[in-house]
Structure 1
Amino acid sequence: MCSVLLLMLTVISGKVSEAQAAGSSAGKHRQAASGAKGRKRVVRKKAAPATARAPARPRRRGRAAAAGVAAGAVTAATAGAAVAANASSNAAALPPVNTKPELLPRCGFTAASKQHIFSRGVYVLDEQTNTPLFERNADTVAPIASVTKLMTAIVWLDQKSLPMSNRLEVTEDDLDTLKFTHSRLNVGASLSRADMLHIALMSSENRAAAAMSRDYPGGRPAFIAAMNAQAQALGMKQTRFENATGLSPDNVSTPRELAELVKAANRYQLIRNDSLDKQKIINIGRGQLQYINSNRLIRYGQVNATVQKTGFINESGHNMVLRLLVHDRRPVVVTMLGSGSADGSRLDGVRIAKWLNCSLN
């Protein structure tokens, strides 16, 4: 009986101990949970002020960024001013840009190609800027042959009230007794003064030029004197004329001075028209004659010009002068003396025209 009671007491005591242990453990869990909750609340309480102060920080950063941007702008402005100052200084130190026109190597104007020019004397002048573009023996005095007829036309047209429709007859005084050249204008042929001028310029008709010089107040001597006076007035100091046809080797000039003659001739509408006409039928009183332009560059439309004239005698070789219009608008005077052949003179004109059309605007 006692042992039974002792056993029951032992069981009850163990249950009590287990209950106390469970209660103690539960209390610890509640305390831990309570502590955790307390710590969470403390953390939230501490985080709240930080969250409240957070908007203030971007404002400080904004002021700093604004200050940085302002400082950067000042720095950039200072740097820009420095660059501008340096650029200005460098620009002042650089030589001025050469705006004068020139013939360009990429356009074929090379030392080798210049050697292929047949004419002994050449002068190429950009009339727009008065710039020489190419020279060869430009100041060498040489016979100019029928290039003379440009001056013949100028002096003859300068007569006052010249009746161009009046007819002019070819006489024996108009025959060539120097070179004994042939002409289709026989003695007795009668042409209007306008036609005389036309074929003298277009076809280099010698008897027409001779008749024109005779048909002048004071006769032929007065006409030759007027030609030389006009040359001096144009500043052609080394130019001399002995007759109106160019058959005399004593009719001389230089490639540079002939540029002045070309520019003067270009001021006359009749000279421009007649020198560029390709062909014309002339009434000579007892029939008709057809004439063509003696310059094949003009006759076949190989260049665009406003004035031209060719010339040849044995002493001069083949000569040609032109006032070209580069790109149909820019005037360039080209004078060429002393080619060994008519083809050489023509090819020189083609080559120079190509240089000009490629090099100039």
Structure 2
Amino acid sequence: MKQKLKAALLVGVVLGLCGQAPAFAAQTTEQNTSKKAAKKAPAVAKSGKQPAAKTAAKAQPSKTAAAKSSIKHAAASQPRPSAKNSLVAAKPAVKHVRHVAMEMDGDPRRLALYSASALVIDQTSGQPLLEKQPDVVVPIASISKLMTAMVVLDAKLDQQEVISIGDEDVDGLKGTRSRLPVGTTMTREAAMLLALMSSENRAAHALGRHYPGGMPAFVQAMNKKAQALGMYNSRFEEPTGLSSNNVSTAHDLARMVAAAARYPEIRQHSTTAEARVELNGRIRDFHNTNALVRSDNWEIGVSKTGYISEAGRCLVMQARVADKPVVIVLLDSVGKMTRVGDAQRIKRWMESASLAPDRRKV
């Protein structure tokens, strides 16, 4: 009986050990795996309190750090650009391309001109480089004074003869002011200087009034001169341009400016930046109405501005631009400075563009 009981107990022990064997084997495998991982991972602090997650985070470098390291390495492998190249590189590529398209394209239609009529003539070839409504008949304001000066010079009148400002020379059309009071005396040369440089209306009117035969003969001579120059769409009523009946076209005015450029006196007077003139025993300072004659960036041979409300802001010039002798006509420009702005835009366009020989409309 005792032997049977021992045998039963022995069988129970064996069966119990067999039931625990899988669990023991699994535990042993897990411990072995943990030991292998521990060998691969960096050593942990001796206290054993540092979490495994923090240990892994310290063991692996961050993506940001890796990226920074790659950028530094790439930069080190490339030659360092100069300051000039750095500046160019800093410019957005899109803006750079757009800048080239606007400045280097020879198409004048890209020019944003604010003058109602515009014309640029190459004096060497006689061909128009730019046209915008060049045949529209419009009032021309003080541009008329170029014709006034040519008629006076054609008459071979004594430039040192003294003439006076009278009541007849006061502006009764627009009521404009003048720095030449009635009774002021000056030489014909001084009157022409003030008429062309400072656009003095009383000086211009006095030149016509002191013409042989008086004002009627002078106006007749103006229109005769216009016809001789081929200005068939032009008409003059008086010498100042205050009358809106003084009309012309951009094409006609280009002819007039080219003709005026052949007079040394007109070239000198119209481009004088400033002058001190003795009037009635007093020295007075006068300035040119065209600010461009004071610019070192312009080489101007003839200049004249004009303005009345009917004509708008006008500017004509004979100049050398991009190594070309040209005549520039700008009529009826809106805004006080837009005629100058248009002239500057034309100059930049001519200097940067490769002009085609064909006529181009704006």
Could you say whether these structures have the same fold, taking a TM-score greater than 0.5 normalized by the shorter chain as the test?
yes
Q: Describe the SS at the equivalent of 2:276.
A: strand
One-letter amino acid of the counterpart of residue 139, structure 1: D
Q: Is residue 189–residue 286 contact of structure 1 (8 Å, CA) maintained in 2? A: no
Q: Choose which of 333, 340, 347 in structure 2 pairs with 1:339.
A: 333
Partner deviation per Cα, 1:231-260 (whole Å, 9 max, x = no partner) = 011111110001100000010000111000
User: 1:106 and 1:182 mapped to 2: Cα distance?
Assistant: 42
Q: Partners of 2:240 and 2:140 in 1: how far apart?
A: 10
Is 1:323 matched up with 2:318?
yes
Taking structure 2 as the reference length, the TM-score comes to 0.68
Going from structure 1 to structure 2, the CA distance change for 1:125 and 1:111 (only over 3 Å counts) comes to closer
Tell me, in whole angstroms, the C-alpha distance in 1 between the residues paired with 2:264 and 2:104: 33
Shift of residue 146 of structure 1? Answer: 0.3
Q: Quick check: 1:125–1:131 contact (8 Å CA) kept in 2?
A: yes
User: Are residue 288 (structure 1) and residue 283 (structure 2) matched?
Assistant: yes
Tell me: CA distance 1:238–1:112, structure 2 relative to 1, closer, same or farther (3 Å). Answer: closer
Which residue number corresponds to residue 158 of structure 1? 154
Cα offset, 1:302, TM superposition: 4.1
Correspondence list, 1:1-361, <5 A: 107-110=104-107, 113-114=110-111, 116-160=112-156, 162-327=157-322, 329-359=323-353
How far did 1:145 drift?
0.2
User: Based on CA coordinates, which of the two structures has the bigger radius of gyration?
Assistant: 1
* 2: CA distance, partners of 1:186 / 1:299: 28
How many residues are treated as equivalent by the alignment?
255
TM-score by length of 1: 0.68
Taking the aligned partners of 1:154 and 1:107, their CA distance within structure 2 comes to 39
Deviations 1:101-127 (A, max 9, x none): xxx96535447632x211000011111
Distance 1:360 1:330, change over 3 A: farther
- Percentage of matched positions with identical amino acids: 41
The structure-2 alpha-carbon separation of the partners of 1:302 and 1:205, relative to structure 1 and needing over 3 Å to count, comes to farther
Deviations 1:17-55 (A, max 9, x none): xxxxxxxxxxxxxxxxxxxxxxxxxxxxxxxxxxxxxxx
Contact 2:106/2:354 (8 A) holds in 1: no
| In 2: Cα distance, 1:111 partner to 1:159 partner | 41
SS at match of 1:249: coil
Deviation at 1:357, TM superposition (A): 2.2
The 2-side partners of 1:106 and 1:318 are apart by: 26
Following superposition, the deviation at residue 352 of structure 1 comes to 0.4
Larger CA deviation: 286-295 vs 265-274: 286-295
CA distance in 2, matches of 1:243, 1:107: 44
Secondary structure of the residue aligned to 2:199 is: coil
Query: AA paired with 1:196?
Result: A
Shift of residue 220 of structure 1? 0.5
Inter-partner Cα distance in structure 1 for 2:109 and 2:351: 19
Which amino acid is 2:146 matched to? Answer: L
Contact residue 305 and residue 314 of structure 2 kept, 8 A: yes
Report deviation, 1:300. Answer: 3.2
Residues 303 and 350 in structure 1, CA contact (< 8 A), matched pair in contact too: no
How far does residue 166 in structure 1 lie from its aligned partner after superposition?
1.8
Tell me the distance in 2 between the aligned counterparts of 1:265 and 1:217: 21
- Look up the SS of the partner of 1:318 in the other structure: strand
Q: Which amino acid aligns with 1:326?
A: V
Instruction: Determine if contact 2:142/2:242 at 8 Å carries over to the other structure.
Output: yes
Q: Which has the higher helix share?
A: 1
Is the contact made by 2:141 and 2:241 (CA closer than 8 Å) also made in structure 1?
A: yes
1:149 aligned counterpart, secondary structure: helix
Aligned-partner Cα distance in 1 for 2:202–2:119: 30
Give the drift of 1:129: 0.7
Asked if the contact 1:145/1:251 (under 8 Å) is kept, the reply is: yes
* Cα pair distance change 1:240/1:112, threshold 3 Å: closer
C-alpha displacement of 1:262? 0.4
Hey, what's the Cα distance between the residues in 2 that align with 1:288 and 1:231?
Answer: 36
CA contact (8 A) 1:138 1:254 kept: yes
In 1, Cα distance between the equivalents of 2:318 and 2:243?
25
Q: Work out the CA distance in 2 between the residues paired with 1:167 and 1:138.
A: 40
Q: Structure 2 CA distance, aligned partners of 1:106 and 1:188?
A: 53
